[in-house]
Structure 1
Amino acid sequence: MKKTKLMTKTKKFRTFEGVFTPSILTILGVIMYMRLGWVVGNAGLFGTIIIIIIAHVIAVTTGLSISSVASDKKIGAGGIYYVLSRSMGIPFGGSIGIALYVGTAFSIALYLVGFAESLNGYLGFGMSINDIRLTGTLALVALTVLALISTSAALKAQFFILAAIVISLISIFLGTSEYTPETVHLFSDEGSVPLEVVFAVFFPAVTGFTAGIAMSGDLKNSKKSIPLGTLSAIGVGLVIYLGLAIFIAFNVNSEVLKTDYNFLMKMALFTPAVVAGIWGATLSSALGGLLGGPRILQAMSIDKVTPKIFSKGKGVNNEPVNALFMVFIIAEAGILIGELDVIARVVSMFYLTAYGFINISYFLESWANPDFQPTFKIKRWIGLLGFIACFAVMFKLDMMAMIGAFSIVALLYFGLQRKEVKLQSNDVWRSVWENVVNKGLKKIDAQIDKNTNWNPNIILFSGQSEHQYYLLELCKTVSGRTGIVTNFKLIVGKDNYKPFKKTEQIVRDNTFNHLGIFARQIKVDNIYNGITNIATTFGFSGVEPNTIMMGWPKGLENSVEYSQMTQTLLHLDYNLLYLDFDKKTKFGNYHTVDFWWRETDSKNAEMMLNIARFIIASPRWNDTKIRVLFINNNNVDIDVVHSKISELVEDLRVNVEIKIINNAVEQQPFYSLIKQHSEFTDLTIIGIPNYKIEKQAEFVLKTNDLFETIGSTLLVKAANNFNILDLDFIKDA
């Protein structure tokens, strides 16, 4: 029994062999040996130092960000992909994970093309592009076989390579050069490659720290090993790159640096040591990619982001064999490009994109997620700095490539979103929105809401009927682009002593989702008490409801309960909107809207003009002709009335037709004039006058009679926060 347990026990790695060693070997790789001199030759010493520092700002901020997130979450297989998908969701993590995976696979090609250049040059083999391709392909096949045989053996081989790199660096620093310059080349000169191109070629040198993170699923203690191993590798790499750049600048002239990629062999104290270091570094970096890349793909396939075939592994350690073959194919495609500088620029874009989003992931986690409690704590602004640095560099390097990278990530994101791949864990976006809403509500609540523009927050009681959609549609139109509408379905019953659970109160269906309306269902013992209770208690600070909308109450003229409800709504100072919907004409062609004004409609008039603004902004009503009809009962000069109304309308930036109806002589009832002029109007909007509650039955009966003649009508009663528009024009006559 004990023997079986020992045989099935998986091999787990510590910080040094699992994170630091693969990371530092990738950092001190092909760029250091084959292109650092070229960088110094083209950028000068100061330019090189600036390039190294900017690159390491991105590396350090990204390393700090990923280390902090890693110390908060359980890190599974897949490294950076795993972290991003668990913090920002599968669509986001998957799109960046794919970019990182492709970047990792291409970086293998980068290292092996560098190896081929060195090997062929040193042994006198051909240096044509086809020769480089052949050597690189053979090396890729050999390393793939090693990765297939044993991950543990591959990691152990890295210790010998690390020793070879250390010996090669000692040999370089103890060497002498016959190309010592008369003066140190401090800046780039005429004929040098632009600094943006130099940076793009150099940047893959600092991407090596992801090699250790990609092994996260094989670590004994990832929360401790990832921060310690990653940051140690970045720090050691920075010191070596700065030291070597200064040494090269003082010992080799710029012309040699620009043209001879193998000058380090010539100046070293012991050339074979440098050769061993170059070959070991390039091969180990490629091997690191072959170990880490498949694990990213395997983790994505387990989460159903990529095809399931790549999730299958072999052995007790579930080695990602299928995923390894896919990495082999992409790496081979990169080798067939055959030019190290071109591959380096491609790799830079993929990594910069991934690193930018790693940093913003940490920033959002630390800013918004109350459950984010990393043991490795850093300042929040570090993630934001890393995000800005990544995309500033991308913009400077190649704006079109940056746009292309964004487009690819966006397509992957929307593709995964449509695929609806989800995890059981919550992503950070919910916390982000909650934080934004929380801070926004506090800002809004701190402001004194007095005579401001109407921003509708409507409680809607639509009722269940075949015509419900029209009331929902008009309510959403009247609420405008930023208004909030919450529809309540009231379920009446005497046995409603037990309310719905909070989760059961939420109603979700395609109609409400399409219109952007929130919906709730509530049990009530009486519909009028239900409306009153909701109007009294619903809402929260910052976005208190300010408007009640419902259908017009035909047949309730003598209802005491309805009268009491109306009194309460008026006392609470809600804006009231009542729609009488004509089931035959509906809203006609959505082409004509009439607003009826009279001298007593001072507040209602301004509310109508606000509604007019929202109506004409709606796509359904965008070709609407709006009329303001004013009843001139006092024989005031028409030009005076027209001029004053024009000023009011112009102030509110609403384009309407103004029609003055002289009624001083005939003194026709208000509703009779409406019947004459708005009989064929698609939507008529009328203000509810101030009346004593005991007159409600009379008002309802007269209004019912009006609705028999005209089409769909909206009655409005403005709250006290609306301005008073002076419609008494006698004093101006």
Structure 2
Amino acid sequence: MPQNKKFGTFAGVFTPSVLTILGVIMYMRLGWVVGNAGLIGAIVIIIIAHVIAVTTGLSVSSVATDKKIGAGGIYYVLSRSMGIPIGGSIGIALFVGTAFSIALYLIGFAESFNAYLGFGTTISDLRLTGTIALSALTILALISTSVALKTQFIILAAIGISLISICFGSTEFVPTTVHFFSTENAVPLEVVFAVFFPAVTGFTAGIAMSGDLENPKRSIPRGTLYAIGVGLLVYLFLAVFMAYTIDAEVLKTDYNILMKIALFAPAVVAGIWGATLSSALGGILGGPRILQAMSMDKVTPTFFSKGKGQNNEPVNALFLAFVIAEVGILIGELDIIARVVSMFYLTAYGFINISFFLESWANPDFQPKFKVKRWIGLIGFIACFTIMFKLDMIAMIAALAIISAMYFGLQRKEVKLQSNDVWKSVWENVVNKGLKRIDAQVEENSNWNPNIILFSGKSDHQKYLLELCKTVSGRTGIVTNFKLILDKENSKPPLKKIDQIVRDEQFKDLGIFARQIKVDNIYNGIKNIASTFGFSGVEPNTIMMGWPKGIENSEEYSKMTQALIHLDYNLLYLDFDRVSKFGNYSSVDFWWRETDSKNAEMMLNIARFIIASPRWNDTNIRVLFVNNNNVDVSIIETKISKLVEDLRVNVNIKIINNAVEQKTFYTIIEEESIATNLTIVGIPDFNPEKQAEFVLKTNSLFESIGSTLLVKAAQNFNELDLDLLNK
């Protein structure tokens, strides 16, 4: 079986890259850049553009030496590091940008070709010449990639000869004054930069050939960086040369001035034509390979994955590139096409840089042979989007909107690869560092941030318990639900770790983590989980479960409760009314008494979270206080109002005078909260011997009112001063 023809660093990466860099912009627009921006302005533009090129080149080179590189160049690198959604959306942008850049080079060729041979230079004339050139190059690419690449060596030599001819050329346009900065009638620097920037995008031409390289991990870094370096030196030299040898006004108006000053004009013509045609050829060879690789991954229609010959030349993808390039040619104006190309490439380069930064920062498996400091990628990312913002904020927003739409579309399409993407590592790193920061902080009396262990099993009303638990946990709280599977005989082995994780839409929708654990005793199981679950930084602080009825004399339940109190958990018990449920979510009552000093603050925190919940946001919250000691009502209201105000909770306060009638606390609750959707009552301190009495009274209360949440606060809550006897 014949071996596929593979290329080395010089032929496969450096040559196509440097020919694209030293292309249409250098010959046809660099003088215009110097004329409008001045020498210093031109140098600044060249350097800023190359900062983006160098950072992006370093980023992609580093990533390229970490993973196996296949066909598709930058798309392949991104999709294997950041996943298909981002790799695909940026790959599409890069493919379209590459296809449009073909039009850029061919319109530049048409400007020079028509002017030199005396043909028409109207937009229609340029369109005709550009279309003919596009057709010829497409046919050449169809015949043989190898032949196409070999022609580039001749063109590289022609460019070198043309530059020598320019340097030893005429001095009749020497300026009387060298302009270092832009003049009054000059084009704005943002526009000048946008037109110039495609000059530095050529390094992607070599990377796009990754599938045809003999050793891509070696060739891509070397060929890419050498091409960028050569391009930078040539552009800086030519900018200085033009500023000192050609008048600024001539530079602004005459796009063919280099031919006129050259020692041997045909050499410059050959350089211009060769550079523009080879750049276009680089896009014709590289662009379709990006689309072909995406189609093989089913990001784009598989029709474009079809190829021909032993090298699987991307014939179908080539025809789509041809169509997009022809659309660009029909635009007909080089400056407009250049600005469109700039936006596509800046967007792609920004994400390439952030891809490298995230890989090197978060992925422990990232071990590239070509080492680059991660902050280089971050600088490149910031530079790209800063420049985009300065160039055209609306175009930047539109580009990001299109990329985002493609990203979410690919996410929904659920295209997956047998490779990990960087996002899992990013989140693991963020969580790791966040936990360390949290664990390092000394915990003082601060706002309660719930981390709740919830015990609930599958039942008809489980969703209401889950819903209330998520409401009580607030926006940033954590809820982990445990389902306890009872095996009294302990006859079965423990569940495997993977089987302990519960994947269910109900939990996913509410943002609740779920586990299932086998236990031989429910109460011991709860104690063991409460004692061991969690880790530094995010230790659970609250236990929530349904109110267990019929266990008032259970010694095991009593020991479990005392253990949870000893562990200093907040305790929440929900007695759910299966008939009224939570009603219409319109009323919540909080019951306070003098002995509820810590429970009161916890209740106010719960009130804060309930108000913030969309389901309860229109509810009427009342704080009810039983005045058993004939204290002045105004004193009580003032004190409670201040406590409520400090915690920024909007509630209604009701004082119930009970000094004369001396009704029991539960009797008053029955009278006042009979129609309340959710009643919240504190659990007082009592001796374990009196548990049965407390449970029986509480069960009786639950028969008379709707859904009720019992609250027992941990020691870390503040003691609110509710002792009103001395006030």
TM-score category (smaller protein): over 0.9
Matches within 5 A, 1:395-414: 395-414=389-408
Give the alignment partner of residue 545 of structure 2, picking from 544, 550, 571.
550
Give the alignment partner of residue 248 of structure 1, picking from 234, 242, 253.
242
Give secondary structure in 1 for the equivalent of 2:539. coil
In the alignment, structure 1 residue 230 sits paired with structure 2 residue 224: yes
Give the alignment partner of residue 666 of structure 2, picking from 638, 652, 671.
671
Inter-partner Cα distance in structure 2 for 1:694 and 1:213? 78
Give the alignment partner of residue 282 of structure 2, picking from 275, 278, 288.
288
Give the alignment partner of residue 13 of structure 2, picking from 9, 13, 19.
19
**Deviation by residue 1:117-139 (Cα, 9 ceiling, x = unmatched):** 00000000011111000000000
Q: What residue is the counterpart of 1:686 in the other structure?
A: 681
TM-score, scaled relative to structure 2: 0.99
Inter-partner Cα distance in structure 2 for 1:172 and 1:499? 81
Q: What residue is the counterpart of 2:421 in the other structure?
A: 427
Q: What residue is the counterpart of 1:376 in the other structure?
A: 370
In the alignment, structure 1 residue 562 sits paired with structure 2 residue 557: yes
Inter-partner Cα distance in structure 1 for 2:330 and 2:24? 18
**Deviation by residue 1:639-682 (Cα, 9 ceiling, x = unmatched):** 11111000101011101111111111111111011001001100
Give 1:481 shift. 0.3
In the alignment, structure 1 residue 53 sits paired with structure 2 residue 57: no
Aligned residue pair count: 726
Matches within 5 A, 1:522-671: 522-671=517-666
Q: Which amino acid aligns with 1:387?
A: F
Inter-partner Cα distance in structure 2 for 1:589 and 1:259? 75
Matches within 5 A, 1:354-365: 354-365=348-359
Give 1:349 shift. 0.3
Give secondary structure in 2 for the equivalent of 1:628. strand
Give 1:190 shift. 1.0
Give the alignment partner of residue 350 of structure 1, picking from 331, 344, 369.
344
Give secondary structure in 2 for the equivalent of 1:619. coil
Inter-partner Cα distance in structure 2 for 1:101 and 1:598? 70
Matches within 5 A, 1:421-570: 421-493=415-487, 494-570=489-565
Q: Which amino acid aligns with 1:464?
A: K
Q: What residue is the counterpart of 1:239 in the other structure?
A: 233
Give secondary structure in 1 for the equivalent of 2:356. helix
TM-score, scaled relative to structure 1: 0.98
In the alignment, structure 1 residue 337 sits paired with structure 2 residue 331: yes
Q: What residue is the counterpart of 1:87 in the other structure?
A: 81
Give secondary structure in 1 for the equivalent of 2:149. helix
Task: Answer whether contact 1:78 1:295 (CA < 8 A) is retained.
Answer: yes
Give secondary structure in 2 for the equivalent of 1:731. coil
Inter-partner Cα distance in structure 2 for 1:549 and 1:186? 73
Give the alignment partner of residue 194 of structure 1, picking from 188, 195, 216.
188
Q: What residue is the counterpart of 1:392 in the other structure?
A: 386
Task: Answer whether contact 1:96 1:354 (CA < 8 A) is retained.
Answer: yes
Task: Answer whether contact 1:100 1:351 (CA < 8 A) is retained.
Answer: yes
Inter-partner Cα distance in structure 2 for 1:329 and 1:13? 28
Q: What residue is the counterpart of 1:31 in the other structure?
A: 25
Inter-partner Cα distance in structure 2 for 1:48 and 1:657? 69
**Deviation by residue 1:609-633 (Cα, 9 ceiling, x = unmatched):** 0000000100000100001010111
Task: Answer whether contact 1:496 1:525 (CA < 8 A) is retained.
Answer: no
Give 1:496 shift. 4.8
Q: Which amino acid aligns with 1:151?
A: T
Task: Answer whether contact 2:490 2:519 (CA < 8 A) is retained.
Answer: no
Give the alignment partner of residue 177 of structure 1, picking from 168, 171, 191.
171
Q: What residue is the counterpart of 2:67 in the other structure?
A: 73
Give 1:177 shift. 2.7
Inter-partner Cα distance in structure 2 for 1:334 and 1:495? 73
Inter-partner Cα distance in structure 2 for 1:387 and 1:185? 32
Q: What residue is the counterpart of 1:307 in the other structure?
A: 301
Task: Answer whether contact 1:39 1:198 (CA < 8 A) is retained.
Answer: yes
In the alignment, structure 1 residue 163 sits paired with structure 2 residue 157: yes
Q: Give runs of ≥4 in structure 1 deviating > 2 Å.
A: 494-497
Q: Which amino acid aligns with 1:644?
A: K
Give 1:497 shift. 4.0
Give 1:567 shift. 1.1
**Deviation by residue 1:25-58 (Cα, 9 ceiling, x = unmatched):** 0000000000001111111111100100000000
Q: What residue is the counterpart of 1:132 in the other structure?
A: 126
Inter-partner Cα distance in structure 2 for 1:561 and 1:218? 72
**Deviation by residue 1:264-321 (Cα, 9 ceiling, x = unmatched):** 1111111111000000000000000000000000011111111110011111111100
Task: Answer whether contact 2:13 2:207 (CA < 8 A) is retained.
Answer: yes
Q: Which amino acid aligns with 2:273?
A: W
Q: Which amino acid aligns with 1:636?
A: V
Give secondary structure in 1 for the equivalent of 2:349. helix
Give secondary structure in 2 for the equivalent of 1:620. coil
Task: Answer whether contact 1:99 1:354 (CA < 8 A) is retained.
Answer: yes
**Deviation by residue 1:703-729 (Cα, 9 ceiling, x = unmatched):** 000000000000000000000001111
Give 1:450 shift. 2.1
Task: Answer whether contact 1:42 1:254 (CA < 8 A) is retained.
Answer: yes
Give secondary structure in 1 for the equivalent of 2:93. helix
Q: Which amino acid aligns with 1:559?
A: S
Q: What's the % identity of the aligned pairs?
A: 79
**Deviation by residue 1:203-260 (Cα, 9 ceiling, x = unmatched):** 0000000000000111111111111000000000000000011111111101111111
In the alignment, structure 1 residue 269 sits paired with structure 2 residue 263: yes
Inter-partner Cα distance in structure 1 for 2:352 and 2:494? 45
**Deviation by residue 1:312-359 (Cα, 9 ceiling, x = unmatched):** 111111110000000000000000000000000000000000001111
Q: Which amino acid aligns with 1:726?
A: D
Inter-partner Cα distance in structure 2 for 1:500 and 1:88? 34
Give secondary structure in 2 for the equivalent of 1:488. strand
Task: Answer whether contact 1:496 1:523 (CA < 8 A) is retained.
Answer: no
Give secondary structure in 1 for the equivalent of 2:615. helix
Give secondary structure in 2 for the equivalent of 1:225. helix
Q: Which amino acid aligns with 2:66?
A: D
Inter-partner Cα distance in structure 1 for 2:34 and 2:457? 76
Inter-partner Cα distance in structure 1 for 2:95 and 2:160? 29
Inter-partner Cα distance in structure 1 for 2:595 and 2:544? 22
Give the alignment partner of residue 102 of structure 1, picking from 93, 96, 101.
96
Q: Which amino acid aligns with 2:551?
A: L
Q: Which amino acid aligns with 2:392?
A: D
Give 1:447 shift. 1.0
Q: What residue is the counterpart of 1:321 in the other structure?
A: 315
**Range with bigger deviation, 171-180 or 18-27:** 171-180
Give 1:498 shift. 1.0
Inter-partner Cα distance in structure 2 for 1:150 and 1:694? 93
Give secondary structure in 2 for the equivalent of 1:674. helix
Give 1:687 shift. 0.2
Task: Answer whether contact 1:201 1:344 (CA < 8 A) is retained.
Answer: yes
Task: Answer whether contact 1:496 1:524 (CA < 8 A) is retained.
Answer: no
Inter-partner Cα distance in structure 1 for 2:5 and 2:66? 24
Give secondary structure in 1 for the equivalent of 2:574. strand
**Deviation by residue 1:74-98 (Cα, 9 ceiling, x = unmatched):** 1111101111111111001111111
Give secondary structure in 1 for the equivalent of 2:386. helix
Q: What residue is the counterpart of 1:729 in the other structure?
A: 724
Inter-partner Cα distance in structure 1 for 2:66 and 2:476? 37
